[in-house]
A and B are shown apart, each in its own frame.
Chain A
């Protein structure tokens, strides 16, 4: 893939820690195995050979929130389910990202009703919204690429779990 070619021989590769970390992270965004309604089917379809989400390193759908980096809110988020979704999100380890997939997860969609949360961003912070009802798998991949873009341009001090003083190198005496 190019990188290996650069490394043959006695070459030295110089990069910044930011870039290296973000490069690794952006190409291994593991989503949570999680779907709520019809949109979930399109999310599943994006993992199949035709669309092949593994080109982006995201084919490893994790059955445990502890191991996943990305939660795709794929479907209608009902108020009754929202408690569970929030719990799953809280259980995910930082750094974590959220995609609101489809009209329902973005804004409630056609369900302007007593039972449906009018947008997943009312309960958890959303990074990328994918429009459509349902969005096609290409749109899911486009959303994933947006997440990757976001990860690649992120500085360490922009991370959600960043605390001041974290990056200072301790001076040994």
Chain B
């Protein structure tokens, strides 16, 4: 599938996207607004992007709209790729796409765990890498690298997890 054709089809399907385009190291990227995001993802799935290879979150701290969430899509038909980016303020949630691509389930959990971005409509939004009673979101830029109680002796009793 040609990306150009897909994007034209996309803008006819969802006319008021506020679509921004960029080219990142040869990989096309579109930026969509949070409102049009679910519609865009549904349309892209229907257009043939049948694989979600990763979900990425970025903390752009001094920026007022603090986070970027990027979905990396691929069409298995001809291996064409597309990155879809949404910008998310700290108090907003991204509508989950785990109903469209199953792999979004764990990807979104990871972004939630490490950056604390909420995903509305996610079936099972729990931590995936850190343990259950971990406080904070370690990949946020205001998280201290050494974490809490670094200077104290470590005790395994403090770790509680979904065993």
Contact present for B153 and A114 (CB under 8 Å) = no
New A-B contacts (20) at CB < 8 Å, excluding given A80-B131, A83-B156, A118-B150 = A79-B131, A80-B129, A80-B161, A82-B159, A86-B156, A112-B145, A112-B146, A113-B145, A114-B138, A114-B145, A114-B147, A114-B148, A114-B150, A115-B130, A115-B147, A117-B154, A118-B154, A123-B154, A123-B155, A123-B156
Mark B residues whose CB is within 8 Å of A.
129-131, 138, 143-148, 150, 153-156, 159, 161, 163
| A115: chain B residues within 8 A (beta carbon) | 130, 138, 147
Contacts A/B (CB < 8 Å), 13 sampled: A79-B154, A80-B129, A80-B130, A80-B131, A83-B161, A112-B145, A113-B145, A113-B147, A114-B147, A114-B150, A115-B138, A123-B155, A123-B156
Mark A residues whose CB is within 8 Å of B.
79-80, 82-83, 86, 112-115, 117-118, 122-123
| A113: chain B residues within 8 A (beta carbon) | 145-147
Most buried by A among B129, B154, B159: B154
Contact present for A83 and B159 (CB under 8 Å) = yes
| B138: chain A residues within 8 A (beta carbon) | 114-115
Contact present for B146 and A82 (CB under 8 Å) = no
| B150: chain A residues within 8 A (beta carbon) | 114, 118
Contact present for A114 and B156 (CB under 8 Å) = no
CB-based nearest A residue for B148: A114
Distance in Å: Cβ of A90 to nearest Cβ of chain B: 10
| A80: chain B residues within 8 A (beta carbon) | 129-131, 159, 161
